[in-house]
Amino acid sequence: MKKNNSIISIFVLFIAFSCTSEDKILSVGERIEQIVAESDNPAHGGTPSLEDLASAGIQNATGNQASYERAIALAVPTPTTLTELQDIVNNVNDNESGFGNNDILEWYDEFDVDGSPSKSNWTYDIGTGQSGWGNNELQYYTQRSDNVNVADGLLTISAKKENFEGASYTSARLKTQGEYSFTYGKVEVRAKLPASAGTWPAIWMLGTNFTTVGWPACGEIDIMEQKGWDKNTISAALHNLSSSGNTENTKETSVAGSTTGFHIYAVNWTAEKIEFSVDGVVFYTYNPTVKTNENWPYTAPQFLILNLAMGGSLGGDIPSDFTESKMEIDYVRVYR
């Protein structure tokens, strides 16, 4: 009996030693580091598993493992806390639950109340920015009714030639930053574009994390831009760490009557691809075969921007007899 007890005691000690030496109990921070290290892109390895996430303290990790893996791998900045990791999981859950088909109207502005644009929907960029908002633009952005106004069911952004705060032109730039942002969805904007040469209208989106990670790491989605010297053509583009500025991720399409009639400019953004269309006809699809942090930062929320610039890299030369031109918007709708 004594011999058997000794053998049992040695076996128990061996098990205890093995557990403490090889199965080290990880701290929350160490578990998060391990989860991030195991997250491959594209997702294919099955790690971290749903059990790994749960053991780190993540709640409601009951969705698609590959979706969590990809979102963690592409997150900018890299998650280092349990809260940041939980936010990623929550975003994946939200995008894969009642939404996903981008056919449910979630947010909109029909501009049906005269006066200033809704303060619960829109804020403004004011001034000339740095180096003309990085594009050598010549306008001073204001929120005056002379430059931005809602009347008769339309939002009108007016660019004007006038001396104002040291600039020779004024206009407006509206954004939903701080009011509304989203990850994945379909945006539709019905608009009539300015007719004058030298004007540069844009409907676009920017990652909400641009104040922390900067541009172009935050990702930019240009739904519609029009050059100042070609009023029968519009373009769509994407800016990210793989290509920005004079980006290679862009395509143009002809839009006859863009300045005389309304057209619907749209983007359909999913976890797999980003499609751009005019009046329901897709003309450009962005879909990198291998998605990385550099070419696919589009896993985080973005906010909407509407603006009318003067001159600059896409506005070009402004005619000497220019006085005023405007972009009119019937509605902005986001489906998820």
pLDDT digits (tens, 9 = 90+) for 266-309: 999 999 999 999 999 999 999 999 999 999 999 999 999 999 99
Give me the residue label for tokens 């990809």. Answer: 70
- The predicted pLDDT at position 41 comes to 62
pLDDT tier, 45 (very low <50, low <70, confident <90, very high otherwise): low
pLDDT tier, 80 (very low <50, low <70, confident <90, very high otherwise): confident
**Mean pLDDT of all residues belonging to the chain:** 89
* Domains of the chain listed by start with CATH number: 2-96 (no CATH), 105-335 (2.60.120.200)
Give me the residue label for tokens 């975003």. Answer: 91
Q: State the Cα–Cα distance between residues 164 and 149, nearest whole angstrom.
A: 19
Given a cut of 70, whether residue 96 has pLDDT beyond it is no
- The predicted pLDDT at position 180 comes to 96
Q: State the Cα–Cα distance between residues 139 and 204, nearest whole angstrom.
A: 18
pLDDT digits (tens, 9 = 90+) for 193-238: 999 999 999 999 999 999 999 999 999 999 999 999 999 999 999 9
Query: Count of CB atoms within 10 A of residue 37's CB?
Result: 10
Tell which wins on pLDDT, 92 or 257.
Answer: 257
Q: State the Cα–Cα distance between residues 235 and 248, nearest whole angstrom.
A: 12
Assessment of whether the complete model's pTM goes beyond 0.95: no
Given a cut of 50, whether residue 26 has pLDDT beyond it is yes
Return the H-helix or E-strand segment holding 54.
helix 50-55
pLDDT digits (tens, 9 = 90+) for 132-181: 999 999 999 999 999 999 999 999 999 999 999 999 999 999 999 999 99
Residues classed as catalytic: 220, 225
Q: State the Cα–Cα distance between residues 186 and 265, nearest whole angstrom.
A: 11
